Structure 1
Amino acid sequence: MESPYDLLVKGGQVVLLDQVKRLDIGVRDGVIAAIEPELEAGASTVVVQAAGLWVLPGMVDTHVHLNEPNMGHWEGFVTGSAALAAGGVTTYIDMPLNGLPPTVNLPALRVKEKLAEGASAVDYAFWGGLVPGNVDQLEALAEAGIPAFKAFLSNPGGDGEERFREVDDWTLLEGMRKIASFGGLLALHAESDAITARLADEAAAQGRTGPLDFVKTRPVIAELEAVGRALLFARETGCRLHFVHISSPEGVELIEKAKREGVDVTVETCPHYLALSERDLVRLGPVAKCAPPLRDEERIERMWRQVAEGKLDVIGSDHSPSPEELKSLDGRTFMQAWGGIAGAQSSVEVMLEEGYFKRGLPLPLLSRLLSTQPAKRFGLHPRKGEIGIGFDADFAIVDPKAGYTLTKENLYQRHKISPYVGRTFSSRVSSTWVRGSKVYSAEEGVRLPGHGIRLSPNPMRRQRDDSEFAGTE
């Protein structure tokens, strides 16, 4: 009798929501059809022997900057998605800024859609943006399939009249009211511009331009002030809130307190805030410069304890690439160098190295942060983010014994710069599968560069799945 499966992943250590178990996974038409201790292959079934390997749900990276349109010379859909595929990412959500024009209205969204179609190796969705003057555009963007909106409370940088702008308090309040009216989700870059701008001006006037001088211009209090202000607005408006790249354990605790008080809020951090410190910033230079900046080792360990306690919801790469010359100190100070960490390809391996191998955290916990909880918060669940019957067959297959040292030659992104170059990992992504198709393998590289499709999350499903994130008294 012919097997009902097109693809059979045999004998892997499958990472489920709450356990790791040796199982076979049967896939039909790109969807997981069976998960059993033993499944039979047919004559036409593609069989992947996964004995000794970890089979994780593909990472759902909800924080990626691929810079299209008109900034593809920094990073585009082809190169950025290739790096994500090589890192075990099967779905990403592309941020609205750094491209020109930014995705703050329907015409800009249509431009981005056209550029991404047929160019991405893995599945994708698009962020929208909240900026001064576009509150009346938000609902139309949501209806067009935008799962969430991004706003800055500090100056995002960049040049030109069209660039993405930070919000003033009135725009933030009115934007949150509008987003709450249709059940949307707002994400915030939370740093107080009043604090960071003043400190940066003082540092410049005093000639303080080094890496640690930069850190001092963006202190933890700037993060806490912005988080507190946004939480106040969320209580006033009922807007669902998500904080991106929180860099401090103090910020996590402030958000955790709001959860307990009933605010519908989630918190993301990034691998670099868990793996790199301000000492690394001094050692590596501008390749490790980002905002908020890297923190001290004591704060890193406190954040890992919060990971273990379940106080963080999402891990996102915040892949923010730039040409290498913008990271150079040739003719510019550290303060003038572009800020942004290009880490899309390393998120899964960094989290496994730092979380599992160094600190002994369970694989299901790390997988929930990388895959399940991002998919739920952004309306991609129950299609993405979990190995379960009826889910897309999206897998990151990892060899836990294939230790290697990352080199520039390993990178698939457009510009071969990363703070992780030279770092040795204990494990390696051996292959990445999207809807039952192998899009990447360590031996063959990226195999299906245009395989990805656009996802348009359903707002009502998004609200249902978010119920577990809302705090209670």
Structure 2
Amino acid sequence: MKEVDLVIRGARVVSVDQIIEASVAIAGEHIVAVGHDDTMPPAREEMRADGLFLLPGAIDSHVHFRDPGYPNKETWKTGSAAAAMGGVTTVFEMPNTNPATGTVEALRLKQKAAESSYCDFGIHGLLGDDTVERLEELLDAGVTSFKAFVGNTFGNLPAPTDGALLEGFEKLAPLGIRTVVHAENSSILQRRQQKMKAAGRIDAMAHLAARPAVAEIEAIGRVLTLAEWTGARVHIAHHSAADSLFLLREAKRRGVDVTAETCPQYLLLNTSHMLKLGGVMRLNPPIREARHNQPLWDALLDGTLDMIATDHAPHTPEEKTRESIWDCDCGFPGVETQMPLMLTEVNRERATLMDYVRWSAVNPARAWGLYGTKGVIAPGAHADIAIVDMQRAGTLSQNRLQSISKISPWNGRAVKGYPLHTLLRGRFVMREGKLVSDAVGWGRTVKGVQKMPTPKPRNTEHYSSAILQTPAGVPATAVPVGAVDWSAA
């Protein structure tokens, strides 16, 4: 048998369907064998993983690495290092950097910054009124997908008009490209925030009051209507409210190609934490009342929600601790803490390891056209693996985060279940709980390995591109209104 680079022996390999005792052989960037220890080929290196679990590397479809534009908050190097430490091997990065990723020139700046990445990555381009004519150009230049900020957030990018959103979906539906949507109604948010500011409300709970669940309900309903009409693929980011889950259930029942994520903060935190931590907890959508927590868990378990993401959104401690809630930047780091937080809940029997693999790896891989290459431990797949100790206990510390942002609502939280090692395409990027510094730059774009299913555009005869063409048999120039003798009618 041909010698391979690495054999991991004695582990328990987790898939969406089962957990089996098996060894894994890796040659170059790929897994070449999964099976009984006796069937493994000779290897240049062997690792014993007795008592440990091998999970497909997590895929986080929602991170903000702030690069270019905000190096005081994060860089690709520090953000991707945090991902590697958290068992995350692939991220999809958001376009609200400076400049926003809505031109090829801005994309080139981001691609250059990403050359220092420890993890593989996709790049969401910006879908807005000013970019809708450049979507194909951005795809050709390396964008993997798009993001529409229907609700306002950091960077204050203008929400696309409904006309631009519809036209964007019309362009992307025939291409099969999925669009992430920040689904909150911007008009509601802005009006309520302005009125509370005028009334002098600067308390932490004012942020939630400005962004009620109805803002999420309305925006999701609107987005799903446009997606269903056009046949476009959409992804609902950071789903936060129990009250809007019915829209996803009904849309999926009708066959709309919609996926949705929630985040650990919406599963595990609520307004009781907001009252204690104030601006540290400010993010969009907001942390909600405790009644929303369990329905989101239930929606993950029944498939209404597809995946876990983090909305990793770092800021400096000073930017998160200002007196007025309106002056506190929105978001906090999460890509490094997601896995231990979720594994802790697995240990508490709120879900199984197989559920977690579905949410963290399999479903994200399917949504973004990566499944088979990523999201699974199987021959032929990239050797993206998180080696996990489910018995290791500890306490999360914001001071130990790889992120520049050393402020987190998870600070001091007890967890049980940690990634000990992270492999990306066969190479250790985190080993024995420590970042492998010379793996910087090992990450690369997933653009070349995406294989989305066949698109299913609908109502194409009503697309903007179609109505600009004069139908056959109709004169190219209309008869002037004034040329008609209406008196003869």
Q: Which of 416, 429, 434 is 2:424 aligned to?
A: 434
Residue by residue over 1:321-359, the C-alpha shift from the partner in whole angstroms, topping out at 9 and shown as x without a partner, is 112211122xx30222111121110111111112x1223
Residue type of the alignment partner of 1:307: L
Residue 262 of structure 1 is aligned with which of 241, 255, 258? Answer: 255
Residue 113 of structure 1 pairs with residue 120 of structure 2 = no
Bigger radius of gyration: 2
- 1:464 offset after TM fit, Å? 4.9
Report the counterpart of residue 93 of structure 1 in structure 2.
Answer: 92
Residue-pair matches, total: 456
Matches within 5 A, 1:208-223: 208-223=201-216
**Alignment-derived partner of residue 339 in structure 1:** 330
Does 2:383 correspond to 1:393?
yes
> Which residue number corresponds to residue 267 of structure 2?
274
Separation in structure 2 between the aligned mates of residue 194 and residue 358 of structure 1, nearest angstrom: 41
C-alpha separation between the residues in 2 aligned to 1:454 and 1:39? 36
TM-aligned CA distance change 1:443 to 1:213, over 3 Å: closer
Structure 1 length as normaliser, TM-score?
0.92
**Equivalent of 2:183, from 172, 178, 190?**
190
Q: Give the AA of the match of 2:77.
A: V
Distance 1:457-1:251 versus aligned 2 partners, 3 A rule: farther
Deviation of 1:458 after TM superposition, in Å, equals: 5.4
The 1:262–1:42 alpha-carbon spacing in structure 2 relative to 1, beyond 3 Å, is closer
Correspondent of 1:287 among 271, 275, 280: 280
Residues 66, 76 of structure 1: 8 Å contact kept:
yes
Q: Secondary structure at the match of 2:325?
A: coil
1:412 Cα deviation after fit: 0.5
CA deviation string 1:380-421 (max 9, x = no partner): 222111111110011111111110001233211112111111
Relative to structure 1, the CA distance from residue 325 to residue 214 in structure 2 (aligned partners, 3 Å threshold; closer, same or farther) is same
Of 142-151 and 83-92, more deviation after overlay is shown by 142-151
Matched, 1:376 2:366: yes
Q: Does structure 1 residue 364 correspond to structure 2 residue 354?
A: yes
Report the equivalent of 2:148: 151
Instruction: Name 1:178's counterpart in structure 2.
Output: 171
Q: 2:247 aligned with 1:249, yes or no?
A: no
* Identity rate, percent: 35
Aligned: 1:199 with 2:192? yes
**Considering only aligned residues, what root-mean-square deviation do their CA atoms show, in Å?**
1.9
Instruction: Write out aligned runs for 1:29-48 (5 A).
Output: 29-39=28-38, 44-48=43-47
1:165-207 CA deviation, whole Å, 9 max, x = no partner? 3211111111111111322211110001121112112211222
Q: Is the 8 A contact 1:130 1:175 kept in 2?
A: yes
Matching residue's letter, 1:122:
C
| Cα distance in structure 2, aligned partners of 1:193 and 1:80 | 28
Give the Å deviation of 1:40.
5.7
Q: Cα deviation per residue 1:111-164 (whole Å; 9 max; x = unaligned)?
A: 1111211x1111112111101221111012222332211011122343xxxx63
Q: Report the AA paired with residue 130 of structure 2.
A: G
Contact 2:32 2:379 (8 Å CA) reproduced? yes
CA-CA distance at 1:52 after TM superposition: 0.7
What does residue 483 of structure 2 align with?
A: none
Aligned residues of 2:23 and 2:40 also touching (Cα < 8 A):
no
Distance in 2 separating the partners of 1:238 and 1:325 = 44
The equivalent of 1:137 in structure 2 is: 134
Conserved 8 A contact 1:57-1:385: yes
Alignment counterpart, residue 423 of structure 1, candidates 400, 404, 413 = 413
Give the match for residue 470 of structure 1: none
